[in-house]
Amino acid sequence: MIPARAALAAFVAFIATAPLFLPEFQVALLDYIGLATLISLGLVLLTGVAGVMSFGQQVFAGIAAYTSAVLTTRYGVSPWLTLLIGLAIVAAVSLFLGAITLRLSGHYLPISTIAWGIAIYFMFGNLEIFGKYTGVPDVPALASGHAMYYLIWAAALALLVASSNLLDSRSGRAIRALRFRAVMAESFGVDTARLKAVVFLYAALFAGLSGWLYAHYLRFVSPSAFNVNAGIEYLFMAVIGGASHVWGAVIGASILTLLKEWLKGLVPSGIGASGNYEIVVFGVLMMLLLHRASAGLAPVLARWAIAPHRRAIAPQAAPLPRRAHPAAGVALLEVRKASKRFGGLVAVRELSFGMRAGEILGLIGPNGAGKSTMFNLITGVLPSDGGEILFLGERIDGLAPSQIARRAIARTFQHVNLIGAMSVLENVALGAHLRGRHGTLRAMLRAERAEEARLLAEAARQVERVALGAHLHDAAGSLPLGQQRLVEIARALSADPALLLLDEPAAGLRYAEKQVLAALLRRLRAEGMSILLVEHDMDFVMGLVDRLVVMDFGEKLAEGLPQAIQSDPGVVEAYLGGVA
């Protein structure tokens, strides 16, 4: 096992010295690998991490390449200026395409990326100014000798490190939640639509930079380099290399470039015929590889060779500022005739209840009573069909979950909503998202380390609070369910909430674990926390809550002190009937 830093240093040393000992032909291959790395790196962020599949990244490379080719050859503009112009156009196009396509769900988004890929390819091929299908020749060189090689690799290495920094930050945690945990991220204040657009923009800019370098490296630009096939290849590179791993971009770009080169020489001579047989062999090899390592090669190599990387925690980091919490007894939450229908089913029917700061209110009822639906109305995950919800006197129904999170309401999920591959520490740090403010650019430059240290220290404190300190660096998905529920609570606590909403935190816990959880909730109340506890398990809530609201078939059945509820005939009939 070698440390990640040593592996990086070895790779940089190889890149720096390769032209000194490799034949020109192989240096040229490395040039192509560097150019492809830039594009597939964007796809690692966009597709592998954020879950937005694009077959159209070659378009952004093409736009920057043609911009530079046309402006330098026809108008004599300096290539360094055309880089800025090209990237500006790429940014504008990607923001426009992102605005219309990122909303699309399921298969429609990848299909639309193919559509724009085809459209722009034909635009390059048919317009006079772009030289139609013959292209634009005599693009000026940027540098002579190996300088171009070093320029390409300086760009690739810089962006690899920047991307790696990005994923290791406050914004990076939010980006890693986009693919499968967008609802959760929204609930902790992440504006997921905006963040997706930002990642889309970065991926487009990476491709644009590659296209600009390509135009001045090859000194010739033609449409064939930017057809849909190219887009598919870049996606392949990211997937083969390991789409969720920054270094997967280099691995994928290297493997595809070298394999294509090797097969091109090998296959036709072997079967004595010409034609694109290498593509067939290539396809078969890719299928075999994905069959063996479905997450790509980077995670496999990392497991074998790279020592696991642990985020360092600085316990001496200054604590994050805490907000002023409402004084005990203040009217905190007021639900007035809230309703929610799913088609013909009325899941919540004109439900009203209130809670005061500092109390634990239990919302109980049999399965299907509408508890989680009520919970999702309060947190904005579901839009309500009627009624009002007020928090500290302000209406919050109709607000987006991320806006409700800003009002210091934090929640857990009935179905545990953690990022399984991410450490407990980082999952919990995501809860403190709104307590940091530095964005993606600072993260890439590692200029937010002071804030990041405070966020991680806070997360570590909350993990200690739920007694999971021993599992700080374990992948959240590797813990048993009971502990994952505690991680959910720690994540909600790191938001410094004024109101904590817990949806069946005791489900799936063993008796001893429930005792630990109850003790934790009592401790939180003693510290002044207000808790709305949705629970199915009567025994668990009875000794714990201050007051109870009982739901059945979407309606309020009873409300009052636990003792009174326990002996309420209606409740006993509807809820405890089978048990008693």
CB under 5 to 8 A by kind: which of Mg ion, ligand ADP, none does 40 bind?
A: none
Q: What amino acid occupies position 86?
A: G
Among 269, 274, 367, 567, binds ligand ADP (CB under 6 A): 367
CB of 396 to ligand ADP, least distance (A): 19
Question: Which range in 10-18, 319-327, 369-377, 456-464 contacts ligand ADP by CB under 6 A?
Answer: 369-377
What secondary structure does DSSP assign to 353-386, as a single string?
EEEETT-EEEEE-STTSSHHHHHHHHTTSS--SE
CB of 409 to Mg ion, least distance (A): 18
CB under 5 to 8 A by kind: which of ligand ADP, Mg ion, none does 369 bind?
A: ligand ADP
Please, are residues 184 and 405 in contact by the beta-carbon 8 Å criterion?
A: no
Is 150 or 553 the residue whose CB approaches ligand ADP more closely?
A: 553
Is 340 or 371 the residue whose CB approaches Mg ion more closely?
A: 371
Read off the tokens for 202: 């970065």
- Work out the widest C-alpha separation in the chain, in whole angstroms: 90
The number of residues that bind Mg ion (CB under 5 A) is 3
Please, are residues 432 and 163 in contact by the beta-carbon 8 Å criterion?
A: no
Separation CA 61–CA 63 (nearest Å): 6
Reported in sequence order, the residue ranges of 154-232 that DSSP labels E, i.e. its strands, are: none
CB of 369 to Mg ion, least distance (A): 8
CB under 5 to 8 A by kind: which of ligand ADP, Mg ion, none does 288 bind?
A: none
Which residue intervals of 225-305 are DSSP H helices?
Answer: 228-241, 248-271, 277-292, 297-305
Separation CA 264–CA 354 (nearest Å): 72
Is 373 or 484 the residue whose CB approaches ligand ADP more closely?
A: 373
347 near ligand ADP, rule: CB under 6 A = yes
308: phi > 0 → left, psi -120 to 50 → alpha, else beta; which? Answer: beta
369 near ligand ADP, rule: CB under 6 A = yes
Question: Which range in 27-35, 364-372, 476-484, 568-576 contacts ligand ADP by CB under 6 A?
Answer: 364-372
Q: Which helix (H) or strand (E) holds 173?
A: helix 170-177
CB under 5 to 8 A by kind: which of Mg ion, ligand ADP, none does 62 bind?
A: none
Position of tokens 């439900």? Answer: 351
Taking CB atoms, the residue at the shortest distance from Mg ion is: 372
372 near Mg ion, rule: CB under 5 A = yes
The number of residues that bind ligand ADP (CB under 6 A) is 11
555 near ligand ADP, rule: CB under 6 A = no
316 near ligand ADP, rule: CB under 6 A = no
494 near Mg ion, rule: CB under 5 A = no
Please, are residues 340 and 348 in contact by the beta-carbon 8 Å criterion?
A: yes
CB of 184 to ligand ADP, least distance (A): 16
368 near ligand ADP, rule: CB under 6 A = yes
381 near ligand ADP, rule: CB under 6 A = no
Separation CA 249–CA 245 (nearest Å): 7
Among 34, 365, 387, 497, binds ligand ADP (CB under 6 A): 365
Residues in the chain: 580
Reported in sequence order, the residue ranges of 400-467 that DSSP labels E, i.e. its strands, are: 409-411
370 near ligand ADP, rule: CB under 6 A = yes
Separation CA 470–CA 255 (nearest Å): 39
Cβ-based neighbours of 300, under 8 Å, separated by 6 or more: 242, 293
Question: Which range in 308-316, 343-351, 366-374, 518-526 contacts Mg ion by CB under 5 A?
Answer: 366-374
Is 373 or 427 the residue whose CB approaches ligand ADP more closely?
A: 373
Q: What amino acid occupies position 52?
A: V
Provide the β-strand partners of residue 475.
423
CB under 5 to 8 A by kind: which of Mg ion, ligand ADP, none does 556 bind?
A: none
Site string for Mg ion, 397-426 (x = CB under 5 A): -----------------x------------
CB of 3 to Mg ion, least distance (A): 45
550 near ligand ADP, rule: CB under 6 A = no
Separation CA 522–CA 90 (nearest Å): 55
What secondary structure does DSSP assign to 174-187, as a single string?
HHHHTTT-HHHHHH
Residues lying near ligand ADP in the complex (CB under 6 A) are found at: 342, 345, 347, 365, 367-373
| Binding region for Mg ion (CB under 5 A) | 371-372, 414
